[in-house]
Chains A and B, each alone.
Chain A
Amino acid sequence: MKKIRTRALFVLMIAFFVMAGMVWFVREDYLHGRRWAMAFSTFDNEAEGQLLDCNGVPLAAFGKGKRDYSGDYLTRVANYHVTGDFNGMSGTGVLTRFWGSAQDYDFVNGTSVRRHGTVFLGVDAKADNYAYTLLNSSGKGTVMVLNYRTGEVKCLVSCPSADPVDTEREVEDSAYLNRALSATYIPGSTFKLITSAAALESLPDLETMQFTCWGEYDIAGIKITCEEAHGVQTFEQALANSCNCAFAQITVQVGQKRMVQHVTDYGFLSGHTINGIYTSAGNYPLTFVGDPELAWSGIGQSVDQVCPFSMLRYVAAIANDGVLAEPSFLKTAQPEKTTQLVRPDTAARLQQLMRNNVKSHYEQYISFPGLELCAKTGTAETGAGTSHSWFTGFVRSETHPYAFVAVVEEGGYGLWSAGVLVNDLLQFMVNGN
């Protein structure tokens, strides 16, 4: 029987594992309980609260059986992709994903209903209204503006949009799709910002190199073309001219491995979350493609796909000296989390380059009064003879530190559709006219 007793220790061992597991679970629960509990905390009918924009304009209210939206049609439709709805038609709205803030959590009591769960959003409803009016007249697309110091989303509009009150009416196709967070587009020349960062970090003599453009460039029998011959240019000039021939050479010199590395590091290939709302991942050729295809991928064509939100994160990080203030829909003075996304020296140089784009090139066509703008255009060929119009960048300003991205579907030249739209919107948001 002595033997049996020793052998019974085996059972004690299993018991010990179970105990250790429990201790581990309690520890995890103590550390992550809030995040866990908030993940699915239901929208309690008892909870009373409202959703306010940064100026206190009510966007939605909830209470005992009460589910209201703004009384103004334009405000409802323009802000729909921010607020979402109570029915969960749009999976990306604050209402659908922000039930938690109507609740409270502590380790002892678990979740409890916060009776007056007012959620202050960073969004400016008036800016959304203005942007929606502009965008709706241009067709489909999206505009998103972010405070790159705090991470607050100041404006988010996606067209077409839906009216959350009028649930009966047939909505336009893809109206529930949040194009800023859940769609991906061919990035076109805006992608040269990523190629530039990769080149700055991997080609030491980049700034002294000269690129000659005769309007077309031949790589292994495949022609890369520009709209016009740009002649002999420096790297800085090539970016301002958005010269495909120059960037084809640069991309090939950087090589696919380093390109993939940078695209991955800057978060273009993964989905992100903003207050728990998921965003789409992009695409870039990951397996060996050969020089011609690699050249196309470096100028934002090939199989490249970018989610506008990913692009916004990237330019916001550049604007903030390489540090990304994680985007959030909530009104805040401090970013909840910061990430070093871009190397500081690279970010500083990219700021200069993007400023040069505007000064030496875009301002020849459009004036941006009162804005110290740094930007890059994109004209992404869809393959169907049309182009998506991109415009992304930021405003150098301490009072209005805004980074932005705009995509107008099949809008033609980047500067003419998206660029004009962003200029109008920023004049409204920054200069109030």
Chain B
Amino acid sequence: MRCLRSLLREKTEPEIWAYLKVGRETVPVSHWESLLGCARSCDIRLFGEGISRYHAVLKRSDQGGWAVFDIFSRNGVWVNGSQVRSDGSPLRTGDVISLGGSCVTFQNISTEQRQKNEQNRTNSGKLVNPAVTLLELTLLQAFLLLQHAYSASRENFSVIAISFLTLGVLEWCVYQAMRLMDRLGFEIEILAFFLTTLGLSVAASSIPAGLYKQVLLIVASVVLFLLCGWGMRSLRILRSIRIPSGVLALGLLVLNILTSDSINGAKSWLEFGGYSFQPSELVKVFYIFAGAATLEMLYREKNLYAFLLYSAACVCALAIIGDFGTALIFFITFLVIAFMRSGSLATVLMAVTGAAMAAVMAVTVKPYIARRFTVWRHVWDDMFGTGYQQTHAISAAASGGLIGKGAGYGWLKNITYSDTDMVFAYVCEEQGLAVGICMVGAVLLMAFFAFRCAKNGRSAYYSIAACAASAMLLVQLALNVFGSVDMLPFTGVTFPFVSRGGSSLLSCWMLMAFLKSTDNRRGASFAVDPLHKIAPMEEKILPVTAHRKGKAGKKGKGSKKA
């Protein structure tokens, strides 16, 4: 898995999408959404008497058309002499945009420039061949299967073997399908598959009988991931489903409150003909859908009240359900989105203060939460009572050492919820601390990836969504890992991808789609088409594509041999 580290080596180069002529100078526009104004943090800085700090937003649509938006500037924005309306004004090459007296000329890039752009862009999969990484992952899976062969009973082993094979076939199928479409950026998927593999191993040693269901869920999650990713290519679709998905999410939560009985103090499950399902997991995805925003929306909808109210409703619903771990995840994701949208630390601090007060109230009203806090950092005082789960998790994690006891040889599996809430300790015991660290590292890597991509994102929407999604995964991880080892209060949330349980897996894979959509290396994501698809008509380009493809292929073969 070390090979994935080089994911970060690949550079994302700025793309040029249009030019603005400011006086004699020509300024390239390198994003689909750019902020114009005189403030230092603007993407394109313009100086002039009438220019506001944040004046206007330039935005490119999926189809390649451009528009300019006025973001409540003092002196307004004018295109060719007519004032820009509230929903923006379309732009054509040669249009003169007047910003508070200063004029700039807009120039869309020509087809040739566009092709040049495309060629300059880093080819994903060039520096690190994903096939080799995937091969390593497959070897890891084979190794895990071998471990299970020793520990599992004969009838169980056949189930485990089929499950691992299915997973292996699935990942290669996805890879091949992507390759056929010339999409070579496969890092995010490999990270997710790595975690899913660990999850499968946990499920295999925990309850082998329910393994088919787990595999079925994995397949379903991957399909959903592909669908979501495909859908996210178009901002227009995204924006149109924003409000409905928000309503749907809240509706699911309300349904949950109304219908479900309490399981272990929290009524977080819905029953559907034998299948239990945790709506809060899916709401996570919808929440990000609804929360992220495009750049001009950031400035046009200055107030966050609607989003604030919506978030409060979600968190309250979760609190009523009694799922405080997830409520906390939502809250921090809310902070990330709120901060990325408003950029105001004051807002974040205010939200934190408000939440702290709410938390104090929750602790006084619900005694069982208070109990969790009193036991926190004192688990060893009551090893067989309130500290039972944490102490056993810590002990199991330590007894695995650095290299682990082997799949199926742990004893933590005998404890309820060890394969979900204490899954970090579970993996540490059976696979060792080293794998435990890799597991956390994989999620951290996703977060770094989101951060790196954020600056070059096509649209603020993708960047915010990716950051929110990775923050969600990080917080979930932190609560799961540090909660089970008594560094944070134990809240009983799942570890992304690894914890057994369907809804969690589905939502994590869907969150991946957000991360994937920010990646704008060529052929890496759904958002950026590979070279030949953009310019299939241009004869000049085709040989280049073929050449590049050939090179990549050769390299792949070469490294396989090595």
Contact = CB atoms under 8 A, between A and B. Distances in A.
Contact of B395 (A1, A6, A22, A41): A41
A64 to B, nearest CB: 17
A1 B397 contact: no
Given A3-B343, A11-B447, A39 B383 contact: yes
Contact of B34 (A1, A15, A26): A1
A110 B404 CA distance: 7
A15 to B, nearest CB: 4
Contact of A18 (B398, B404, B405, B440): B440
A5 interface: yes
A17 interface: yes
Given A26-B433, A26-B437, A21 B35 contact: no
A302 B457 CA distance: 76
B444 A19 contact: yes
B399 interface: yes
Interface in B373-388: 380, 383
Q: How large is the interface on B (under 10, 10 to 19, 20 to 34, 35 or more residues)?
A: 35 or more
B404 A5 contact: no
Nearest to B444: A15
B399 A12 contact: no
A15 B447 contact: yes
B199 interface: no
B398 A29 contact: yes
A14 B404 contact: no
Given A1-B43, A8-B340, A40 B487 contact: no
Interface string B343-356: 10000000000000
B74 to A, nearest CB: 19
Contact of B467 (A8, A107, A110): A8
A257 interface: no
A34 B394 CA distance: 11
Interface stretch (B65-73, B166-174, B214-222, B469-477): B469-477
B42 A40 contact: no
Interface in B392-424: 392, 394-405, 411
B128 to A, nearest CB: 21
Contacts of B437: 22, 26
Contacts of B400: 110
Contacts of B467: 7-8, 10-11
B455 A15 contact: no
Given A9-B451, A12-B448, A12-B451, A21 B481 contact: yes
A36 B401 contact: no
B339 A7 contact: yes
Nearest to B396: A40
B402 A107 contact: yes
Interface in A18-71: 18-19, 21-22, 24-26, 29, 32-34, 36-42
Contacts of A5: 454-455, 463
A36 B395 contact: yes
A11 B336 contact: yes
B397 A108 contact: no
B401 A107 contact: yes
A386 B11 CA distance: 87
Contacts of B335: 10
Interface in B443-457: 443-444, 447-448, 450-451, 454-457
A17 B481 CA distance: 13
A109 interface: yes
A105 to B, nearest CB: 7
A14 B482 CA distance: 14
A26 B335 CA distance: 29
Contacts of B481: 21-22, 25
A18 B481 CA distance: 10
Contact of B482 (A21, A33, A105): A21
Contacts of A26: 433, 437
A15 B432 contact: no
B296 interface: no
A372 interface: no
What are the 8 tightest A-B residue pairs by CB atom distance, in nearest-first order?
A110-B401, A36-B398, A5-B455, A8-B454, A37-B399, A37-B398, A111-B399, A33-B398
24 contacts: A1-B43, A3-B343, A4-B464, A5-B454, A6-B343, A8-B467, A10-B335, A11-B336, A11-B451, A15-B448, A15-B451, A24-B487, A26-B437, A29-B433, A32-B398, A37-B395, A39-B383, A39-B391, A39-B395, A42-B411, A108-B401, A109-B401, A110-B399, A110-B400
Interface of B: 31, 33-35, 41-43, 295, 332, 335-336, 339-340, 343, 380, 383, 391-392, 394-405, 411, 429, 432-433, 437, 440, 443-444, 447-448, 450-451, 454-457, 460, 463-464, 467, 470-471, 474-475, 477-478, 481-482, 485, 487
Interface of A: 1-12, 14-15, 17-19, 21-22, 24-26, 29, 32-34, 36-42, 105-111
Given A10-B335, A38-B395, 13 more contacts: A1-B43, A4-B454, A5-B463, A8-B450, A8-B454, A11-B470, A12-B447, A15-B447, A19-B444, A36-B397, A39-B395, A109-B403, A110-B398
